[in-house]
Amino acid sequence: MAIEKNTMNDSTDGFSTLFEDAPGKRSSAFKLVELRKRCQEIDSLILDLYKNSEYNQVSLQKLKNERSNILDEIDRIKDEMIPDLNA
């Protein structure tokens, strides 16, 4: 089962510059949006595999691992965005 990557041409959307920390560098907020969107895509792929009575366990596990890695990345970015109040 091939997983399609969502590719967008960000240079022409007009909103890319709103989410840039520096020219050419995307902000953490934009990364969070992209990661959450990808996580939702993976969730729907996992549900589709479960609905199939003969799903491939290896593919399912790979999707779950990818989803877990994305959730870890989301948590890491959120931690960077929120200042440490104990400092």
Q: Considering the domain boundaries, does residue 35 fall inside one?
A: yes
pLDDT, tens digit, for every residue of 48-71? 888 887 778 898 899 999 999 999
Residue with tokens 């953490």: 28
Q: Considering the domain boundaries, does residue 87 fall inside one?
A: yes
Q: Considering the domain boundaries, does residue 34 fall inside one?
A: yes
Q: Considering the domain boundaries, does residue 44 fall inside one?
A: yes
**DSSP label of 2:** P
Cα distance between residue 31 and residue 42, in whole Å: 16
Over pLDDT 70: what percentage of the chain?
Answer: 67
Flag whether pLDDT at 76 surpasses 50. yes
Cα distance between residue 59 and residue 39, in whole Å: 16
Q: Considering the domain boundaries, does residue 6 fall inside one?
A: no
Q: Considering the domain boundaries, does residue 23 fall inside one?
A: no
Q: Considering the domain boundaries, does residue 75 fall inside one?
A: yes
Tell me the C-alpha to C-alpha distance, in Å, between residue 47 and each of 18, 43, 70. Answer: 34, 6, 17
Q: Considering the domain boundaries, does residue 72 fall inside one?
A: yes
Q: How much is the pTM?
A: 0.65
Q: Which residues form the domain of 73?
A: 28-87
Q: What is the largest CA-CA distance in the chain?
A: 53
User: Residue 74: what pLDDT?
Assistant: 94
Looking at per-residue confidence, does 13 or 57 come out higher?
Answer: 57
How many domains would you assign to the chain?
Answer: 1
Mean pLDDT of all residues in 71-79: 93
